[in-house]
Amino acid sequence: MSPVSAELRQKVFDLRHKFAPGWLEVVSISEGWYRLVADCDAELTAVDPAYKINQIKEKFGGLRYYIEPSSPELADQLYAIVHKYEELSLRTCEVTGDSGVLMKSRGGWYRTLNPGYAEASLAYFDYKPVDQAKE
Backbone angles phi, psi at 14, to 5 degrees: -70, -15
For 27-57, b/e burial (b = at least 16 CB within 10 A) is: bebbbbbbbbbbebbebbeeebeebebebbe
| Whole-angstrom distance, CA of residue 23 vs CA of residue 68 | 12
Q: Per the structure, how many domains does the chain have?
A: 1
In this predicted structure, what is the pLDDT of residue 1? 59
Q: Is residue 1 in a domain?
A: no
Q: Give residue 68's domain range.
A: 6-132
pLDDT confidence of 2, banded at 50, 70, 90? Answer: low
Residue 3 has pLDDT above 90, yes or no: no
Q: Is residue 72 in a domain?
A: yes
Mean pLDDT for 13-25 is 97
In this predicted structure, what is the pLDDT of residue 26? 94
Mean pLDDT for 106-128 is 96
Mean pLDDT for 35-64 is 98
In this predicted structure, what is the pLDDT of residue 4? 86
